[in-house]
Amino acid sequence: MNGAGSPCRFCGRRRDPRVPGRNGPICVDCVRAGLRVVRDGADRESGAGDVLAAVTSPLAAVCEFCGRRERRTFLGLRRPLLRVDCAARDAVICVDCLDHAGDVLNVALRG
Nearest Cα neighbor of 46 from 57, 31, 68 is 31
pTM for the whole thing? 0.87
Distance of alpha carbon 25 from alpha carbon 18, whole angstroms: 6
For residues 55 and 48, the answer to whether their CB atoms sit within 8 Å is no
Would you place residue 92 in the very low, low, confident or very high pLDDT band (cuts 50, 70, 90)? very high
Determine the average pLDDT of the residues in 20-26: 91
What are the helix (H) ranges across the chain? 28-40, 95-110
Residue 33 has pLDDT above 80, yes or no: yes
Phi, psi of 87 (to 5 degrees): -60, -35
Would you place residue 96 in the very low, low, confident or very high pLDDT band (cuts 50, 70, 90)? very high
Distance of alpha carbon 62 from alpha carbon 19, whole angstroms: 18
pLDDT at 4: 61
Within 13 Å and on the Cβ side, how many CA atoms surround 13? 14
Would you place residue 44 in the very low, low, confident or very high pLDDT band (cuts 50, 70, 90)? very high
Residue 41 has pLDDT above 60, yes or no: yes
Count other Cβ atoms within 10 Å, centred on residue 14.
12
